[in-house]
Structure 1
Amino acid sequence: MSTATPTAAPRHVLTALSGLLLGMFVSMIASTVVSTSLPVIVHDLDGDQGVFTWVVTAMLLTTAISTPIWGKLADLVNRKVLYQVALVIFVIATAAAGFAQDPGTLIAFRAVQGIGAGGLAALSQVLMADIISPRERGRYMGLFGAVMAVATVGGPLLGGLITDSFGWRWNFFVSIPIAAAAMIIVQRTLPHAAPAQRKVRIDYLGIVLLSTAVSLLLIWVTGAGGSFEWWGLETILMVGGALVATALFIVVEIRSAEPLVPLSLFRDRTFTLAVIASIATGIAMFGASVFLGQYMQMARGATPTEAGLMTIPMIAGLLLASVGVGALITRYGHWKPYLVVGGILLTAGAILLSTIHYDTNFVLVSVYMFLLGAGVGMTMQNLVLAVQNTAKPREMGVASSGVTFFRSLGGTVGVSLMGAALATRVTDLFGDSRERIGTALAGLGAEGAKWAEQLQSGALPQVSAMPESLRVIIEDIYAQGISSAFLIAVPFAVVSIIAIVFLPNTSLSRMTTSERRNASEADLATVSVPEGMSVLTATGSVSVVSGRSTMDDRD
């Protein structure tokens, strides 16, 4: 006889989730608080557009690489302890980044920061699946979306105020007290989540090969056309090395007893299509958060605080869509229509943002941002929900982190592609506008020499402080560059719509991961029960064994 643990009452669920929500808030606020100050940070550290891109992609890269590792560990060792370790790594690296004195050090600490962020992103989803059924998870997914939206809104605003008032370094220190509170709450409220009792095996070779493949691909995307030619020896070595590492990774995963990313997951149509759709979501989400803040400052002359205020429409779309759709999914049990609409909105937002100029009516820009935010809010969490609904309990960690991994990977490669396109376009436009810039500088008299030196240094210019005659030219250049960057996201968004349309419309289960695991174990136990004996199923119903197991997983 076996009984499943009933789903926790809402109060108990909220108590258990409070630590996860605060942990996600810490990771989000620590990331978003620097988004509006990045142009200032890179300018102060004498960095160029390549540094700007790498400050972002270094974190995204390690987040992508570490996410499946954390997910695998979640299926092998104590999940609660893992979550706390990820939180500590993230906060220490974030604080250390505040002391960076050069671009290289800042990029290095951002990379370590991404390792912790990968754990927080993957483990929060896995731990939530332990205590909430897929059918009920919609409303709580909305809570995660709300926390994400608040952090995404509050982060840029807070970061802008801190940068303008105290200096950008304090942006990296602001999350420390929040993280301390999160550690205490997680320890006190999060229930023990023990994994299956089996020997722990880590696929170290798979980790190395995956890291090598992704890193080579990212370095090639970032440097091609700038540091080296698109078709040259460097390209052959990097692309060839990435392909070889990928092939070896697949071979190792097939032969490994505990693969980092079980390739058998791709036999599941839901997982495969969700992964494809998540790549586009990652490109839209990370690309917008990086380049919209740069657009506000470099193409519209905004200060960091003003840039934070100007990106609110996108976050409003994300917040309303995430919370509203989450509640609707829980109430009616339908999830696929919202994903389809979300994919369409995401694509529309990306297309419209690829048309913006430095003087585009800001009302229109706000509408475009709102559409993109709503699309991300409808798709991001619900793609994970769809996968968790069909994943096996013993593979919940790797399945959940798999979607998150490819979303982060898509964001990493996408931001690199968008950054490379932006850098190339801006360089070309500076060359085409040399005569106009020269005329504007000559009209500034003695002050023109100072601005000429700054522009020739290659570092990101401080557009908001420029004289009007020069500022308009530079704003136009960066607006055209950023709009061309958003154009790269469009084909990926279209592919995501196609993937979402073909997702199997599986009904959401009312059982938590723990209940499904208990039901599976009880199912095996009933095999040896004598025929005719009554047993209590995991759903609470009495059933009579008739020569075989009668366990079912009723929705």
Structure 2
Amino acid sequence: MTPREIRLTLGSVMLVMLLAALDQTIVGTAMPRIVADLRGFDQYAWVTTSYMLSSTTIVPIVGKLSDIYGRKRFYLLGLAIFLVGSALCGAAPDMLTLIAFRAIQGVGAGIVMAIAFIVIGDLFPPAQRGRLQGLFAGVFGISALIGPPLGGYLTDHASWRWAFYVNLPLGIIALGVVARFFPRIPTPPRRGAIDILGAIALVGTTVPLLLALSWGGRQYPWSDPRVVALLVVGLAFMAALVTIERRTAEPIIPPALFRNRIIALSIAASFCMSIGMFGVILFVPLFVQAVLGGTASESGSVLLPMMLGMILASGVSGVLISRTGRYRPFAVVGMALMVVGLFALSRLGTDATLTSAGLVLALIGAGLGSVMPTFTIAVQNAAEPRMLGAATSSAQFFRQIGGTIGGAVLGALMAAQSTADLDARLAALRPALEATLDRADPTWAAIADSRALLDTLGRADLVLAAPVLAAARAAVGSSLSTVFFIGSVAVAVGLVAAILVPEIPLRKERHMVGRAPESASA
């Protein structure tokens, strides 16, 4: 490929990545208007859940298939599916149809995201991948910065449907550039039949488990038969998946990957990092609104320092990795910054300020930006050429699973602890309230159901007796302190894994088909 063709290919890939990443942030701002238009409040969460399920599940499948059949056809297919899904979502006449079309859109987004990171490994040697992985990581930070305000602008000045239609003009241009300049990369000979049973078992594992973790402790109790059944089905398919992958010639998730210390430890560290990252993204807005009493706008803007820190650090660390040929120091420093930041976040109380929260989040963002390029580079540098797609997509898959599991478990823990804590605080307050508070005061109705009271803490029009409001804020603050502390422990476990990752020099030449890198196995 000529330098011009490489630039055009990378530009189009980054544009498509930006569109796919924006799609995850831009729709959130439009959701209230979508619900009002399509009248489906009870199905609100499914618009996101259906996208998450399809985009996560497809990643390891397409990664392996692209190793066998090549990247270009799958990238074009994924981009086409994403654009068709975007058009269908924009035209959706009701909520159920929108949910189905979001699942289609998620399949396309999962394919293009998976192939994008694999392509860097195809076109550039490991020593040059650092700055590119840093740029790609920065795309996610940029999407988080511009997605919510863009979604709000389009919804207010055009229609919520343009939150989906906006993908079409730029996506069509990118489709033409990819079709013209995207290289056809040689693939190694296939050693056996396609792992259809493995793909079925992977879907059977991922979908029920993600649904159970999304519902458990939130929409339904963990003991609910639906949640229990999903967990049982998911675990049964997981056992089948492990058995199938050990016996097939071309497994979707090759067990050989996990016998390589670099790959296994990098995936473990990335999994733990994702728990901390999603803990911050999901629960810091709640901290600002429910504990500090901030507005919805303030809860969104407080994340900006983290995103800016991530964009800056990912670019700097990527360049330095390319220059030095070393990746482990950046992973270790980044994970350490995240541990310190999450622990500091756990110490913030009801007297914290938005400025102090922003400074802590900037530190976490710098850690995230340092970490995000490194583990993908380490995995690709250690993987055999014929497993490059499977290795890269497996790393992405487990990172996404880590965030989903972390968000679900931390959310359930927060809900249980905050309710129990508030009940205890209200019981202690009751004698004083009975002596001073009129029975007609709306506070009495509010404290009759502590869980409902917690649900209303973010409302601007909330009127409660001062001691009750303080007790509710303190209860949520205490539970979030626990959540952030557990997040710091999870990242600390990842830090240990990052320290243990063996470091081999980043190669200065591309993988050639049939040629393996120096062994990094145990």
Give the TM-score, by structure 2 length: 0.83
Pick aligned residue for 2:310 from 293, 305, 318:
318
Matched-pair identity in % = 32
1:193 alignment partner, one of 185, 196, 215: 185
Paired residue type of 1:135: A
Structure 1 position 153 matched with structure 2 position 145: yes
- Counterpart of 2:302, as a letter, is M
What's the secondary structure of 1:76's corresponding residue? helix
1:363 matches 2:355: yes
* Alpha-carbon separation, structure 1, partners of 2:95 and 2:290: 20
Choose the corresponding residue for 1:403, options 395, 418, 432: 395
Choose the corresponding residue for 1:31, options 24, 27, 33: 24
Question: Please, which moves more after superposition, 458-467 or 156-165?
Answer: 458-467
> What's the offset of the Cα at 1:337?
0.5
Aligned pair partner of 1:517 in 503, 513, 519: 513
Could you list the per-position Cα deviations for residues 188-227 of structure 1 after superposition, in whole angstroms to 9, with x for gaps in the alignment? 3322234335488432221222222233333433444566
C-alpha spacing 1:507/1:365, structure 2 compared with 1 (3 Å): same
Q: Which of 379, 386, 394 is residue 371 of structure 2 equivalent to?
A: 379
Residue from 2, 20, 28 that aligns with 2:13: 20
Could you tell me how far apart the structure 2 residues matched to 1:280 and 1:185 are? 37
Shift of 1:498: 0.8
Report matched runs for 1:135-154 at 5 Å.
Answer: 135-154=127-146
Amino acid in the other structure paired with 1:69:
I
Amino acid at match of 1:28: A
Is the alpha carbon distance of 1:417 and 1:60 closer, same or farther for their aligned partners in structure 2, counting shifts above 3 Å?
farther
1:470, CA displacement in angstroms? 8.0
Instruction: Work out whether 1:288 is the aligned partner of 2:280.
Output: yes
The 3 A distance-change label for structure 1 pair 308 and 174 is farther
**Could you say what secondary structure the match of 2:273 adopts?**
helix
Listed as ranges, the gaps of 5+ residues in structure 2 are: none
CA gap 1:109/1:347 in 2 versus in 1, 3 angstroms: farther
Say whether the 8 Å CA contact 1:18–1:189 is kept in structure 2.
no
Equivalence for 1:537: none
Contact 2:198–2:241 (CA under 8 A) maintained in structure 1? yes
Give the aligned CA root-mean-square deviation in angstroms. 4.0
CA contact (8 A) 1:153 1:308 kept: no
Give the deviation of 1:76 after TM superposition. 1.5
- 1:371-450 → structure 2 map (5 Å cutoff): 371-425=363-417, 427-428=419-420
Q: CA shift at 1:150, angstroms? A: 1.5
Matched, 1:351 2:343: yes
Q: Deviations over 1:466-521 (max 9, x none)?
A: 256589667666555554443442332111101111111110001123xx22767x
Map of 1:130 onto structure 2:
122
What is the CA distance between 1:38 and its match in structure 2? 5.9
- The alignment status of 1:247 with 2:239, answered yes or no, reads yes
Q: Deviations over 1:255-288 (max 9, x none)?
A: 1122111101111111110110111222233343
Q: Retained in 1: the 8 A contact 2:78–2:112?
A: yes
Unaligned runs of 5+ in 1: 1-7, 521-550
Matches within 5 A, 1:91-102: 91-97=83-89
* Paired residues for 1:255-274 under 5 Å: 255-274=247-266
Q: Is the CA contact (8 Å cut-off) linking 1:222 and 1:419 kept in structure 2?
A: no
Q: Does 1:61 align with 2:38?
A: no
Cα 1:224–1:260, aligned 2, differ >3 Å: closer, same or farther? same
Please give the alpha-carbon distance, in whole angstroms, between the structure 2 residues aligned to 1:256 and 1:119.
23
- Tell me which residue corresponds to 1:177: 169
Q: Distance in 1 between matches of 2:289 and 2:169?
A: 29
- Counterpart Cα distance in 2 of 1:348 and 1:40: 39
Partner SS, residue 334 of structure 1: coil
> Alpha-carbon deviation of 1:119?
1.3
1:523-544 CA distance string (max 9 Å, x none): xxxxxxxxxxxxxxxxxxxxxx
The yes-or-no answer on 1:205 pairing with 2:203 is no
Separation in 1, partners of 2:213, 2:383: 33
Quick one: distance in 2 between partners of 1:396 and 1:91? 27
Give, in angstroms, the shift of residue 253 of structure 1: 0.8
Instruction: State how far apart, in whole Å, the 2-side matches of 1:470 and 1:106 are.
Output: 42
Matches of 1:194 and 1:380, distance apart in 2: 28
- Find the counterpart in structure 2 of residue 547 from structure 1: none
- Answer yes or no: is the 8 Å Cα contact 2:5–2:181 preserved in 1: no
Indicate if the aligned counterparts of 1:43 and 1:459 stay in contact, CA closer than 8 A: no
Partners of 2:386 and 2:514 within 8 A in 1:
no
